[in-house]
A and B are shown apart, each in its own frame.
Chain A
């Protein structure tokens, strides 16, 4: 009874066909489940890589044959050096700020009694809960030279002293302002990496140093910093990756500060210049892609190397008692939250309730009218919310399901195929949304797809951009379910379907829901790709917030931004509660081998 790889059933004699259902085919790993997973993986790898390939071919083969001319045109573009210079300065200065700030926050949160537990948990989530676009707009409302609330407040403070001015003293539309915005919105990334590095370092190393007579600061310099050096290096490289691709912050500021950067110029070339200069945009995208790819690659190398020096077998990390300095530490942690989130959100809330950007602080005339307009009267904002909700719900659901299936496939396949799929599906992770959007535009806007300006093209770009991240979350979910748990189910007499339904799915579900919520947040507040791909006929919230800012409708803008935050917050809270409820009475899902 020879049962090889699936044949046409008609060829099998009845006896063999009868046996067949009990036997795994020639390669026991390759079941129907594997086939579907592999197909999905290939499709999604193509969705990411094909547009990039189209972009690169446009650059080097504009008319079907190799022509370095386009790249030459890009290089000779006026102001290119200036743009590159601006970008590098902002990335380096903002990155330095973020590495220092993130490290201080990480050290305070991991190693000292100044830590505030819930903030340590929320901080890495901040970029998702509060999109940098919203935060930056909030800060322009605080620090705009004429009517920024903080400036008005400072001027009022000094007015009795006879210092009367109509603007200043602080200008967000400046180099300092730009560096500040880059810095505060990179901090969550540097915090995450350095905190992980600190958690992996045995605190006994530091205790040994203290016992040997070194003080706190000597210990930090001689023991702690060298121990987390790989994490610091990775954090720096991650700021380069993030900084080159950062669009929403500099885009808000560029109009008045005149500080043009790479990402902003690419979008301008495609959307605000007529006719769109696709060739130059593609050329600049290439620069960005190279820069972020190198930074990303170096970063993963640094981190991988660092695992060799990770100190294992750590006991319970002990906290350094800061004494009176504890309150200084707390103030720094709370200060970051206030600066990055609370102040800009309060500014937006004020403007939304007030209805317009006004610095006369009176409670009179506060109303929810702008929210009513945004939700029910203004067709564009209303449509934007509906479109974004659709994209986020559909995109997150497709993305998480696909990611879960691929993660299970990669986990269960021991051969080379699984590893190749894993690498390919994650290879898109460092590609900036702006670059991907350019690729999607080139690939899908024209015939035969003709999806230009449609919600579908946005969905495709979002899925391509976020799927690598989604698979990382799904990997974690799949890793929760040790292989022996599945083997024990088969041994108990259960087949693939029952094992997936009764064992895999219930154990993965809480993590999948959490991953879904993150995907939802990303897609709902997405700005970079939206600005390039969405049209005024099919607006989405990220693009609409940006347009309202450019057009100066601050009341509507603020109300829309607050609604975006509210919806995001509600979804995340609901998902967290749901995940917790599913885990139910079980104390904790033990990680079994």
Chain B
């Protein structure tokens, strides 16, 4: 938000001696290193559920990593394992190069000794303490000199934009204000690692957008590493340097937001992050440049981008993003084109959404930025450049 944020980091000493080590070798030692982590839960009927199934990820200092997936994919469990709130059954976790969990060596550091901070989905503000007392708590727990606490609390509250609310109790605040107190409490001790468990899911859409923006600028200013859990793909793409898409306890894909959006590894990833058009087909050939020719119900398609495991003869799906598709009444010149019937056309403000159909493909979506609407039943052409088509394995 404001430049005040920076002088907090400059003025104050680091949390623990171990932090200094990570500063000197900042580029090589990951802030968090999770290695082959496994966590089981016993359901009430006695069945075992594998919530985290051999996950390995790294978060570098200053990096913003988002764990993305639907509910039940294990993302929150993974985060809680890093925090020390759940006990994994196997694997290793290192924070700043120090082992905090090791399943083989029976090491499991308590959360209070891991030197990190966390923001909970429910904010977990203590209702019997004022905002200022809530924010002061980590400082007194970490034995910071009593004289320094009020000033640091005031600065933290100012940084999150609520300097005047220090004396209020959480129950007297709005959801957005509570969220800011939680943020101040997480940032006041200047930890270089902050965990977020769906922190924005309890505030309304307008506040959420504002808080997301502020959170991002604070993270860039203060430079802490963030591990952030969400099921909201827009949130993930706006915040992340790196996204890990989780699927049933495993990392389905790890990459930058652009990579994950443009080059999903599977239909699951592509479908979870945005809308995906899918056309089934069989691979005829794969050329040396990595382009594939695929036989489909709409004709033979050439796709410039293919998933690594796809070979000639495979059953595949050819996927595309709706906003990359051309739609016209005249035949386009693009290499991939076929005739369709427009089923519906809806203007939704920032774009116009068309649903088109072709034999066997009743639900092919096209988003255009112009405002032209088509009558239902209008015959039209869709067209796609080869680089806007990607070939994915059929399974999953």
Using Cβ atoms and an 8 Å threshold, which residues of chain B touch A589? 127-128, 171
Q: Which residues of B contact A72 (CB under 8 A)?
A: none
Is B105 touching A587 in the complex (CB atoms < 8 A)? no
Cα–Cα, bound, A487→B138 (Å): 12
Q: List residues of chain A with CB within 8 A of the CB of B137.
A: 489, 492, 494, 502
Determine which of A490, A493, A507 lies in contact with B189 in the assembled complex, contact meaning CB atoms within 8 Å: A493
Is the CB of A3 closer than 8 A to any CB of chain B?
yes
Instruction: Give complex CA distance A23, B137 in Å.
Output: 22
Determine if A487 and B110 form an interchain contact, defined as CB atoms under 8 angstroms apart: no
Q: Pick the interface stretch among B112-120, B209-217, B220-228, B335-343.
A: B112-120
Q: Does A218 contact B (CB under 8 A)?
A: no
Binary A-proximity of B162-190 (CB < 8 A = 1, otherwise 0): 00000001111000000000000100010
List chain B residues, Cβ under 8 A from A506: 128
With contacts A491-B117, A492-B185, A507-B127 known, is A22 near B141, CB below 8 A? no
Partner of A484, one of B105, B124, B169, B170: B124
B306 beta carbon closer than 8 Å to chain A: no
Are the CB atoms of B120 and A587 closer together than 8 Å?
no
Q: Which of B83, B137, B142 has the most CB of A within 10 A?
A: B137
Known contacts A482-B122, A484-B120, A487-B85; is-contact A493 B142 (Cβ 8 Å): yes
- B127 lies within 8 A of A586 (CB): yes
Contact B107 A487 (CB under 8 A): no
Closest-CB distance, A438 to chain B (whole angstroms): 38
Q: Which of A493, A586, A588 interacts with B112 by CB under 8 Å?
A: A493
Q: Is B87 in the interface zone, CB < 8 Å from A? A: yes
Q: Are B171 and A488 in contact, CB atoms less than 8 angstroms apart? A: no
Q: Which of B83, B87, B171 contacts A491 (CB 8 A)?
A: B83
Determine the distance from Cα of A489 to Cα of B134 in the docked complex, in whole angstroms: 10
CA distance A26 to B126 in the complex (A): 30
A24 CB–B CB distance under 8 Å? yes
A24 to B88 alpha-carbon distance, docked (Å): 13
Q: A489-B137, A491-B83, A491-B111 are in contact. Are A507 and B128 (CB under 8 A)?
A: yes
A503–B126 touching, CB < 8 Å:
yes
* Cβ B141 vs Cβ A586 within 8 A: no
B146 at the A/B interface (Cβ < 8 Å)? no
Q: Give the docked Cα–Cα distance between A580 and B263 (Å).
A: 60
Chain B residues whose CB sits within 8 angstroms of the CB of A2 once the complex forms: 105-106
Q: Give every chain B residue within 8 A of A494 (Cβ-Cβ).
A: 112, 137, 141
Query: Which of B87, B107, B116 counts the most A-chain CB atoms under 10 A from its CB?
Result: B107
Q: Which residues of A contact B110 (CB under 8 A)?
A: 22-24, 28, 490, 495
A592 touches B111 (CB 8 A): no
Bound-state CA distance A498–B139 (Å) is 13
Q: Kindly provide the distance from the CB of B85 to the nearest chain A CB, expressed in whole angstroms.
A: 5
Residue interface mask A1-23, B partner, CB < 8 A = 1: 11110000000000000000011
Chain B residues near A585 (CB-CB < 8 A):
169
Q: Is the CB of A495 within 8 A of B122?
A: no
Quick one: which of A464-520 are within 8 Å of B by CB? 482, 484-485, 487-495, 498, 502-503, 506-507
Closest to A416 in B: B42
Are A28 and B124 within 8 A (Cβ)? no
**B113: contacting residue among A1, A22, A503, CB under 8 A:** A22
| B109 close to A (CB within 8 Å) | yes
Report the minimum CB–CB distance from A24 to chain B (whole Å).
5
Contacts of B142 in A (CB 8 A): 492-493
Beta-carbon contacts under 8 Å, B87-137 to A: 87, 105-113, 115-118, 120-128, 137
A590 at the B interface (CB under 8 A): yes
A490 near B106 with CB under 8 A, answer no
B111→A490 contact, CB < 8 A:
yes
From B169, which residue of chain A is reached at the shortest CB distance?
Answer: A586
Chain A residue contacts of B171, Cβ below 8 A: 586-590
Decide if B108 touches A28 in the complex (CB within 8 Å).
Answer: yes
A587 adjacent to B169 (CB under 8 Å): yes
A492 to B116, CA, bound (A): 8
**B141 surroundings in chain A (CB, below 8 A):** 489, 492-494, 498
B370 to chain A, nearest CB (A): 44
Interface string of A564-593 (1 = CB under 8 A from B): 000000000000000000011111111011
Residues from 229 to 288 in B contacting A, C-beta threshold 8 Å: none
Flag if B169 contacts A592 (CB, 8 Å).
no
CB distance from A4 to the nearest CB of B (A): 6
> Pick the contact of B120 from A488, A498, A502, A584 — CB < 8 Å?
A488
Known: A2-B105, A3-B106, A493-B189. A590 touches B128 (CB 8 A): no
Query: Which residue from chain B places its CB closest to the CB of A486 in the assembled complex?
Result: B124
Are the C-beta atoms of B106 and A4 separated by less than 8 Å? yes
Of all chain A residues, the one with the shortest Cβ separation from B84 is: A490
Rounded to whole angstroms, the CA-CA distance of A584 and B129 in the bound complex is 11
A587 surroundings in chain B (CB, below 8 A):
169, 171-172
Residue of A nearest to B80 (CB): A487
Interface centre among A482, A485, A498, A583 (most CB of B within 10 A): A485
A23 lies within 8 A of B120 (CB): no
Residue of B nearest to A587 (CB): B171
> Which residue on A lies nearest to B117, using beta carbons?
A491
How far, in whole Å, are A498 and B143 apart by their CA atoms in the complex? 12
With a CB–CB cut-off of 8 A, which chain B residues contact A482?
Answer: 122, 124
Cβ contact within 8 Å between B111 and A28: no
Q: Residue on B with the closest CB to A29? A: B87
From known contacts A491-B116, A586-B127, A586-B128, infer whether A592 and B122 are also in contact, taking CB-CB under 8 Å. Answer: yes
For A491, A507, A584, A593, which residue has the most chain B Cβ atoms within 10 angstroms?
A: A491
Q: Are the C-beta atoms of B127 and A590 separated by less than 8 Å? A: yes
User: Nearest Cβ distance between residue A235 and chain B, in whole angstroms?
Assistant: 29
Assembled-state Cα–Cα distance A547/B289 (Å): 104
- B118 neighbours in A (Cβ, 8 Å): 487-488, 491
Cβ contact within 8 Å between B125 and A493:
no
Chain B residues contacting A3 (CB-CB under 8 Å) are 106-107
C-alpha spacing A492/B135, complex, angstroms: 10
In the complex with contacts A23-B109, A590-B127, A492-B117 CB distance below 8 A: yes
In the docked arrangement, what's the CA distance between A487 and B124, Å? Answer: 8
Known: A487-B111, A503-B126, A592-B124. A492 touches B105 (CB 8 A): no
Least CB separation from B83: chain A residue = A491
Q: Which residue of A lies closest to B123 (CB)?
A: A592
CB of B117, distance to nearest CB on chain A (Å): 6
Would you list which residues of chain B between 55 and 89 have a CB under 8 Å from chain A? Answer: 83-85, 87
B residues in contact with A26, CB < 8 Å = 106
Given contacts A493-B141, A590-B127, contact A24 B108 (CB under 8 A): yes
CB distance from A323 to the nearest CB of B (A): 39
Given A22-B110, A586-B169, A586-B171: A492 and B127 interface contact (C-beta under 8 Å): no
B200 to chain A, nearest CB (A): 16
Complexed CA–CA distance, A26 and B121 (Å): 29
Q: How far is the CB of A423 from chain B (nearest CB, A)?
A: 15
Report the separation of the CA atoms of residues A491 and B80 in the bound assembly, to the nearest whole angstrom. Answer: 11
Q: Say how far A506's CB is from chain B's closest CB, in angstroms.
A: 5
Q: Decide: A593 and B122 in contact? CB cutoff 8 A.
A: yes
Among A22, A28, A490, A590, the most chain B Cβ lie within 10 Å of the Cβ of: A490
Q: Min CB distance, B3 to chain A, in Å?
A: 27
- Least CB distance, B260 to chain A, in whole angstroms: 29
**Contact: B112 with A1, CB < 8 Å?**
no
Contacts of B112 in A (CB 8 A): 490-495
Q: How far is the CB of A6 from chain B (nearest CB, A)?
A: 13
Min CB gap A325→B, angstroms: 39
Contacts of A583 in B (CB 8 A): 128
Q: Please, could you name 7 A-B residue pairs with CB atoms under 8 Å apart, sorted by A?
A: A2-B106, A482-B124, A491-B83, A491-B111, A492-B117, A507-B127, A592-B124
Given contacts A488-B124, A585-B169, A587-B169, 12 further A-B contacts (CB under 8 A): A487-B85, A487-B120, A490-B85, A490-B110, A490-B111, A492-B189, A494-B112, A502-B137, A507-B126, A584-B128, A589-B171, A592-B124
CB-CB nearest 7 A-B residue pairs: A492-B138, A488-B124, A494-B141, A484-B124, A493-B141, A490-B111, A593-B122
Chain B residues engaging chain A, CB cutoff 8 angstroms: 83-85, 87, 105-113, 115-118, 120-128, 137-138, 141-142, 169-172, 185, 189
